Amino acid sequence: MIKNILTITLNPTVDKSSTVENIKPEKKLRCSAPKYEPGGGGINVSRGLERLGVKSVALFFSGGRTGALLEELLDRENVAVKPISTKAETRENFIVVDTSHNDQYRFGMPGESITTEEAEELNKTINSLEPFPEIVVISGSLPEGIEPSFLRSLIKTLKAKGAKIIADTSGDALQEVVNEGVYLLKPNLGELSALTGRKELDNESADEAAMELIGKGAAEIIVVSLGPQGAYLVSKDKCLHVPAPSVKKLSTVGAGDSMVAGMVSKLATNSPLQDVARMGVACGSAATMSTGTGLFTKENAERLYKWLSK
């Protein structure tokens, strides 16, 4: 039986992507028609899960015309939503590809500030969920007005209700997550290095650093993203390396979120950890095969997963 899944996105966005040939300063650039897609860590995880046939509920702050567009875009993808209304306008990001060299430029806009009352409304909504989710994914950056310590308090509440928490964030927010402890943590090599104080980590020493964090109670499972080299999955008694398949890379936007979606899809059915890691790498790699912010297709993800499972 598939577990109930909730994703939490504190700093969502609408991603606007376009293409242009030969970017040059002070030149009027003729862009292709823009494409609008939902964005933000947890939202992308919910989108990825939907593509894999796994249902979830996406909880996020939503405000203004951009927030309304975000909700509409998610409805088109059949993602169940639970938006928390804000006075602040939901942010936009802009991604443009120079078709003359296939170079990608990513412009991240800052979000407006979230009020204390709005943050409290999010807490109330979570506490009122029935049935309470068994898996909760917290992913993405923090908006203005939300302190990193908010995450620690949120995680404590979720754990008290028995939820398994998967976290994917960065900076001070990541440190707060580590201090409180979660079920699964997904740092990249640089983040793992910063968390453990070990400089210049490589593939061989990554598992040792992850085991160190596990020993301190940071997580039960740590999946270290190695980009084109795949990932390490480390638990108390396992260390698995899954190499990334060779694919034609068109965009890296959403690859990390796609990886989380793949892993959660297997955790939701109590699959072995090796299958969790393989599906994560398969979905992350499949996402790089899509243009713009398109995440992955189910066909590409399943094909790569079968290849990794041979």
Q: Which residues are catalytic?
A: 257
SS3 166: strand
Amino acid found at 26: E
Question: Which letter does DSSP use for residue 271 in this model?
Answer: -
CB atoms within 10 A of CB 182: 25
CB atoms within 10 A of CB 131: 6
Contact 86, 115 (CB under 8 A): yes
Token pair 């898996």 is at which residue?
A: 135
SS3 40: coil
Is the previous residue joined to 131 through a cis bond, with omega within 30 degrees of 0? yes
DSSP string for 55-75: --EEEEEE-HHHHHHHHHHHH
Beta strands 103-108 and 57-62: pairing type? unpaired
Burial of 132 from C-beta contacts in 10 A (0-12 / 13-18 / 19+): middle
Closest CA to 62 of 46, 84, 41, 43: 84
